[in-house]
Structure 1
């Protein structure tokens, strides 16, 4: 029988939800399905859609780590049925390690010419290595591994461990500390780094990520045999994760290819791409079972769930594009919905002070086209700000008296976007 527990709080045992470790929310049980690299084949997507329709609230929630959540599950026996679907689909290869398979990767890797290396095989190798190492089951469900193909998209997410193609840099908590790893050694290096972190964390029940334990950085560097050098750029550790300074242990990774990005880039642009795929956004990161089934019907290849709560649909003929739009998915990069996210809010979350999804929808309708192109906006039902994007975003936080609006990290230069001002007027 799955253990039902709450992931809230950062003390005591790790309570981050998984496929077998459900979270009791106000609207029922919630399970989180780890999808390394965000990659789903069509049969897997169909089965997830069917599970959401039959055992949950009919929706697949896209998370900021490229995973999927099913919520509104009425009872623990339904969680077991969902788990059976995941096992049959190949989405639950390890019962012991299922919560630590948090692996994000550049979602367009291998689909266009924007990166230095197709990192999809590395996703498979790193996932297998993590699951094959018994003691790594002790990693927190919050521990994040990233594989950046050199374009700098997932390198900017501040993962605990991030390997970047082109330079071979292994970033720790988003920082370049001089480690360089060759491509064929990435899986082994990730395992060694994670084990060094666990060893350093031994006995601590309040530490989940490398950023929570700064002294772990030196232990990891020592375990990998590299020097510990602070980032040279005075702007800080996230200044240029794609082209960090090369250290003495660079390895045979080769120089950057001509024409590639010189710095970090944002999320994949919503809309059709010449390389033969479409990036579609689900409003507020909620992909309905009907939408997922339509995608599975139309797609000519795999679907990639991105850390920006969009999906990449491979092999979609242009003539079938209207089929996506008819389901409510967004393929227009000028849509006001682009960049707008929200936590669950009421009634699904008992901590929320407002129905943020309904309020966000109403605010966007009131703002109209003028809301397009503004700073990304996240709606939160309480001060915990669950699901807050890693990238700069304005935050609309529900309070007992209405909404409070703040810029990214409490800083926002220039006038607030119109859609934020609209939210403020609702307070």
Structure 2
């Protein structure tokens, strides 16, 4: 069975049926948000989860979604009109598309066009459920390096915007892409993605007539086909599906300057968290506010409250992020304090220095059979413990994962907590391996600092680590990752154990 749930078929999890709602580009209207709340209340347990692809998941559903509900979701533009392609991964885009001060191009029209292409071409149904595409418009909130098969990243060449085509070779979790040296005009992007998908389809070892595509046990991934054929041969086959040759442009061999995507804001760790807090938009007098959603979980009271805020004080739009938070955009400046207060009244937050701003957790053992630990509840308990004990002045990414799969976050974190169990006096004890900073290419979660810490001991250990980091760092803008990378593990252990 596919590891990618959808709306039109059952996916069982430990806590019941799991349903995923694709949200192309992560953008929802307040009306759509409310209908999702109704669905979570009527069929689930009254909450949703924002995923690392800016989807929404409804967990613990007690029965299959009735046809009448699916029709409502289709009518309001949430569910695909072609159920056969609903299993495909969400199209990713920056949550600040169209409002970012620094973006080179608004990618929302391209995302809509690609989604329309997918949902009107049922012949794409045999694609692997993990087939994935991202558009990065070159703004301050980048998703260009997020894990996808195909990344289209905006660049400026001779005062014209193009998209650089990057393909995932599956060779590294943290540096997966190869630059093809191909530049695409914006109007070519969807056609080229379609051609890439067609070549991929032609080489899938799949007996379409004997299988249900979204329930197939294992299909070759895009990067496997790419590696088997070789990039040049693959791209030659792609060109046969196009009415024009692909435009090659090697930066190394050209004197023309390419202006890369906007990346750096103040040269500090905050550049990674421009999706949190209050930020000016490109539209004069308007701002967006990034809302911290602790471990990505929203109850239906919060969903409806956020929909009310977006309707009353903004433009009735909510933007989900792949960091499992969300934005409310187009807010006149005079309403910012009131919105901040209302967000806090919902039990949510809006500051990048809140301990929850970069706290990530997978589903945990209450919902996933692969997880050894109750990651989401442990993460929330840790945040509550640290609230009054540690005052941060910059975000620290703490990642709880219940197993080695790292479903919730595909990038390295400041602190990674990898769950596993031990038996102590006949009882199973939940605990974590603690990893920090960067490691070599073989160290998926960074360098191992402690091999086993029970959860009961974990909050006080992290409190000590964070307090020592705040006291011992050389400068206030030194990130936790930069701080720990200055030490060998033995010295770091002595520092944190003193």
Interval containing the TM-score (normalised by the shorter chain): 0.7 to 0.9
Query: How many Å apart are 1:280 and its aligned residue?
Result: 0.5
Query: Is the contact between residue 398 and residue 414 of structure 2 (CA under 8 Å) also seen in structure 1?
Result: yes
Listed as ranges, the matches of 1:82-93 within 5 Å are 82-92=69-79, 93=81
SS in 1 for 2:351: coil
Question: Paired residue for 1:116, among 77, 97, 104?
Answer: 104
Question: Paired residue for 1:359, among 372, 378, 391?
Answer: 378
- What's 2:198 paired with? 195
Query: Is the contact between residue 434 and residue 450 of structure 2 (CA under 8 Å) also seen in structure 1?
Result: no
SS in 1 for 2:36: helix
Question: Paired residue for 2:462, among 412, 418, 422?
Answer: 422
Question: Paired residue for 2:223, among 205, 211, 216?
Answer: 211
CA distance in 1, matches of 2:221, 2:355: 34
- What's 1:411 paired with? 446
SS in 2 for 1:163: strand
Larger Rg: 2
SS in 2 for 1:177: strand
Query: How many Å apart are 1:56 and its aligned residue?
Result: 1.1
Query: Is the contact between residue 14 and residue 369 of structure 2 (CA under 8 Å) also seen in structure 1?
Result: yes
Moved more, 92-101 or 214-223: 214-223
User: In structure 2, do the counterparts of structure 1 residues 261 and 379 end up closer, same or farther at CA, with 3 Å as the change threshold?
Assistant: closer
- What's 1:164 paired with? 153
CA distance in 1, matches of 2:463, 2:151: 36
- What's 2:411 paired with? 390
Query: How many Å apart are 1:390 and its aligned residue?
Result: 3.0
- What's 2:278 paired with? 272
Moved more, 197-206 or 24-33: 197-206
- Structure 1's unaligned 5+ residue stretches are 1-12, 230-242
- What's 1:304 paired with? 319
User: In structure 2, do the counterparts of structure 1 residues 49 and 404 end up closer, same or farther at CA, with 3 Å as the change threshold?
Assistant: same
- What's 1:32 paired with? 20
Deviations 1:394-425 (A, max 9, x none): 32122112211224624349999x96943999
TM-score, normalising length: structure 1: 0.82
SS in 2 for 1:396: strand
Query: Is the contact between residue 435 and residue 450 of structure 2 (CA under 8 Å) also seen in structure 1?
Result: no
Deviations 1:185-230 (A, max 9, x none): 111011001111222333497444333342353344213447899x
Corresponding position: 1:378 with 2:399: yes
Corresponding position: 1:97 with 2:85: yes
User: In structure 2, do the counterparts of structure 1 residues 219 and 79 end up closer, same or farther at CA, with 3 Å as the change threshold?
Assistant: farther
Corresponding position: 1:135 with 2:123: yes
The structure whose residues are more often strand, as a share, is: 2
Query: Is the contact between residue 293 and residue 325 of structure 2 (CA under 8 Å) also seen in structure 1?
Result: yes
Query: How many Å apart are 1:84 and its aligned residue?
Result: 3.3
CA distance in 2, matches of 1:420, 1:197: 50
- What's 1:177 paired with? 180
Query: How many Å apart are 1:164 and its aligned residue?
Result: 1.4
Moved more, 338-347 or 103-112: 338-347
Query: Could you say what the CA RMSD is over the residues aligned between the two structures, in angstroms?
Result: 3.3
CA distance in 2, matches of 1:423, 1:21: 44
Listed as ranges, the matches of 1:230-379 within 5 Å are 245=251, 256=259, 260-261=262-263, 266-275=272-281, 276-299=287-310, 300-301=314-315, 302-316=317-331, 317-318=335-336, 319-368=338-387, 370=390, 372=392, 373=394, 375-379=396-400
Moved more, 283-292 or 313-322: 313-322
CA distance in 1, matches of 2:460, 2:325: 22
Query: Is the contact between residue 218 and residue 228 of structure 1 (CA under 8 Å) also seen in structure 2?
Result: no
- What's 1:6 paired with? none
- Structure 2's unaligned 5+ residue stretches are 156-161, 169-176, 208-216, 240-244, 282-286, 423-430, 439-443, 452-457, 466-498
CA distance in 2, matches of 1:120, 1:334: 29
CA distance in 2, matches of 1:353, 1:379: 11
Query: How many Å apart are 1:291 and its aligned residue?
Result: 1.0
Query: Is the contact between residue 412 and residue 445 of structure 2 (CA under 8 Å) also seen in structure 1?
Result: no
Deviations 1:238-278 (A, max 9, x none): xxxxx983789x9xxx9639x94479963533111222211
- What's 2:45 paired with? 57
Query: How many Å apart are 1:110 and its aligned residue?
Result: 0.7
Query: Is the contact between residue 364 and residue 371 of structure 1 (CA under 8 Å) also seen in structure 2?
Result: no
Tell me how many residue pairs correspond in the alignment: 393
Query: How many Å apart are 1:140 and its aligned residue?
Result: 1.9
